[in-house]
Structure 1
């Protein structure tokens, strides 16, 4: 499978949001890039013989992205809350708007101190200067809610709302028409929702970007952050997935390349992964709404174990 690298454009040109909309909105639809043969398609649930999935989950799926088949599907078209898996679309939208070496100044609203004490943050402070590359790494690896807002403000020409509108338009362009987001980080809002199938469509597009692949496959990332006094501090972020941490075992013959975790009380525990079997065939596996982290990884491992021809 070939993962292509998208050419990035800068965020700092005049009226970036309007320019992006004019150049990109619905281009894939107009150019016919959403033919069914390019995607895994199923309108119904798909069962696997001798495999009983966890019916307590909100949704789950296993998508063979090389053969373009849906190998397992449970409630994949049902409305769900995505929690921090939202951030894959935040990253995708930003990567299509911004260069990785652009410098972002953190606002008061994007500072870690602006978030609830239980929210996952990367520790940004008002006035910090940090590269877009570092923000995206903290967003996808450490799941920083502060990073999400800093990215959205910068790439949205100062408006988080405008950036989220671009996220929604990108989702629609990809065929993810049952998705509506209101934040760039996935903190709960009843009007912030998607489906497991839409998340497959979005993640399937994300992995075509080499920058995205480089981040989700990383073991860690060390960011240089310049404070208001000019002092540079270094912060290292690590993946949140138990597979990356070595806290969950995979079936023999399976490899996780990377992915994104998520959790809120309403969304439950969520996980989207890019997997690979011994032959190099690629799969996207999704579990949304597990009651606990141990159950999330138990269910995900069981689904990955359904990949054919594992040793």
Structure 2
């Protein structure tokens, strides 16, 4: 019994030490993102938090929700879908190499929407959702309620609308849910992929430059950008044997998001080392 109690006290002291070291590092951590949160997936500990409860535009981070409800629908992934004029969102300019008239399988549209953040692909997925756009949006609302995303609003599938809003805290919940889908993990950690569009081979790249980067183990990822949202990033990463979920919203440049992610990665490493090697 005494040995058991001593072991518990030792583990508790270890946890206190690790928490203190992380808290100290967190206090000194300065992020470029205006809103952020990072959570150690193993311990549930919040590594860093900055204005994480403010609802702001989320841009293409929306597409993680789009992907989840499409996959939940069990619609045939091999079904051929035509890109039509309605898939071009006219309220905000958005370029796309997926032209009107292109025919792709639902699975291919999902890959384009997630990996290269193609807006026409995401729009087509929602338009062809079983029951159409109204059913898609109803499924999105239901999913957000299920996940406890109580401070979020999603009005369309691409993220081009500034009315798609959420908090860093809510998006961490969305990221945790999205990471449970093997398809989403696979697609969002793919660096490049070759597609055949209208008979022409085209290579598409992951919008997250950290995917495939030296030293980075990315488990799930999604980027976003609009003028209203700034640069946004959701990632699940593994470092020093532990994983973390990070959400970065409204940074001024992609490089700023990368720098912030690097700081959080270092913090996760320090947390892991403190737990493994107590002083």
TM over 0.5: yes
CA distance in 2, matches of 1:88, 1:194: 13
> How far apart are residue 210 of structure 1 and its match?
0.9
Pairs aligned (count): 249
> How far apart are residue 55 of structure 1 and its match?
6.0
Distance verdict in 2 for CA 1:55–1:209, change over 3 Å? closer
Deviations 1:206-250 (CA, angstroms, capped at 9, x unpaired): 11111111111212222234x4xxxx333321111121264xx75
Structure 1 residue corresponding to 2:84, chosen from 107, 111, 127: 107
In structure 1, the residue matched to 2:109 is 135
> How far apart are residue 171 of structure 1 and its match?
1.1
In structure 1, the residue matched to 2:126 is 152
Structure with more relative contact order (C-alpha pairs < 8 Å, separation 6 or more): 2
Structure 1 residue corresponding to 2:36, chosen from 60, 84, 96: 60
Distance verdict in 2 for CA 1:56–1:67, change over 3 Å? closer
In structure 1, the residue matched to 2:190 is 218
In structure 1, the residue matched to 2:266 is 305
CA distance in 1, matches of 2:105, 2:176: 25
More helix per residue: 1 or 2? Answer: 2
For 2:164, what is the secondary structure of its paired residue? coil
Q: Larger Rg: 1 or 2?
A: 2
> How far apart are residue 309 of structure 1 and its match?
2.9
In structure 2, the residue matched to 1:48 is 23
TM-score by length of 2: 0.81
CA distance in 2, matches of 1:95, 1:54: 37
Instruction: Report if the CA contact (8 A) 2:195-2:202 is conserved.
Output: yes
CA distance in 2, matches of 1:173, 1:120: 33
In structure 2, the residue matched to 1:282 is 243
Q: How does 1:167-186 map to 2 (within 5 A)?
A: 167-186=140-159
CA distance in 1, matches of 2:181, 2:24: 35
Structure 2 residue corresponding to 1:162, chosen from 135, 141, 147: 135
C-alpha RMSD over aligned residues: 2.3
Structure 1 residue corresponding to 2:62, chosen from 54, 79, 86: 86
CA distance in 1, matches of 2:130, 2:210: 33
CA distance in 1, matches of 2:161, 2:255: 22
In structure 2, the residue matched to 1:241 is 208
Structure 2 residue corresponding to 1:260, chosen from 217, 222, 231: 222
Structure 2 residue corresponding to 1:71, chosen from 47, 63, 73: 47
CA distance in 1, matches of 2:247, 2:32: 14
TM-score by length of 1: 0.73
> How far apart are residue 310 of structure 1 and its match?
5.9
Distance verdict in 2 for CA 1:109–1:310, change over 3 Å? farther
Q: Which runs of 5+ in 2 are unaligned?
A: 1-21, 275-279
CA distance in 1, matches of 2:232, 2:101: 32
For 1:305, what is the secondary structure of its paired residue? helix
> How far apart are residue 165 of structure 1 and its match?
2.9
CA distance in 1, matches of 2:130, 2:159: 17
Deviating 4+ runs (over 4 angstroms): 114-117
